[in-house]
Amino acid sequence: MTTIPINPTLVSHKYDQMLLGYRALFVYGTLKSNFHNHNFITQGDSIFVSEATSVDKLVLYNCHSLPYVRYPLEGETGNHIKGELYGVKDLSLIDHLEGAPTHYHQRRQFFKLDNEEHELMAIIYHESHIMSRDVEELTEWTYGRVED
């Protein structure tokens, strides 16, 4: 299992008690609410923190109907991508789903919480190998959304 602990001292005061004992996780694709893999978040011990946006510019793209994230390659600009932040106790199911560390791997990055000044360091799953070089850069994953 590839698990990166989040140091609670890096979390703004408002969230340190909320996330005590949890790992902060940013999700941007099929793990978001109203998408078909969200149950991998909810079936374990987890809490919703906030909608959020990446502080760093990243490349989010669709490859064979799957979302991938990476740092921009030469010629790519990247975007501040939108997603959701959760506190998750155990990442082993998500690691399994994501094929970590072979298909995706965990990275730690800062995310700006929506409607707040605070930034929070969280785990995000990046592609482990470049899946495609010729991509349409997205700001938000909407493909495959399940309607309420």
Please check the confidence at residue 141 and state whether its pLDDT lies above 60.
yes
Higher pLDDT, residue 147 or 26:
26
Token representation of residue 111:
């995310």
pLDDT digits (tens, 9 = 90+) for 77-115: 999 999 999 999 999 999 999 999 999 999 999 999 998
- Domain contains 71: yes
Please check the confidence at residue 30 and state whether its pLDDT lies above 60.
yes
Can you give the pLDDT at residue 89? 94
CA distance 15 to 121: 11
Phi, psi of 48 (to 5 degrees): -80, 135
| Percentage of the chain exceeding pLDDT 90 | 70
Domain that holds residue 30: 8-127
Please check the confidence at residue 31 and state whether its pLDDT lies above 70.
yes
Can you give the pLDDT at residue 29? 95
Return the CATH number at 85. 3.10.490.10
- Domain contains 133: no
- Domain contains 74: yes
Show contacts of 36-44: CB within 8 Å, 24+ apart.
Answer: 36/144, 36/146, 37/97, 40/93, 40/94, 40/97, 41/86, 41/88, 41/94, 43/93, 44/88, 44/89, 44/90, 44/93
Can you give the pLDDT at residue 74? 92
Can you give the pLDDT at residue 13? 60
- Domain contains 132: no
- Domain contains 91: yes
**Please, which pLDDT band fits residue 1 given cuts at 50, 70 and 90?**
very low
Q: Which residue bears the tokens 């923190």?
A: 49
Report the candidate in 31, 11, 28 with the shortest Cα–Cα distance to residue 121.
11
Say which residues have a Cβ less than 8 Å from residue 72's Cβ, sequence separation at least 6.
57, 58, 59, 78
- Domain contains 136: no
How many structural domains is the chain composed of? 1
- Domain contains 102: yes
- Domain contains 60: yes
Determine the longest span between alpha carbons in the chain, in angstroms. Answer: 43
pLDDT digits (tens, 9 = 90+) for 43-68: 989 999 999 999 999 999 999 889 99
Please check the confidence at residue 41 and state whether its pLDDT lies above 60.
yes
Q: pTM value?
A: 0.87
**Please, which pLDDT band fits residue 11 given cuts at 50, 70 and 90?**
very low
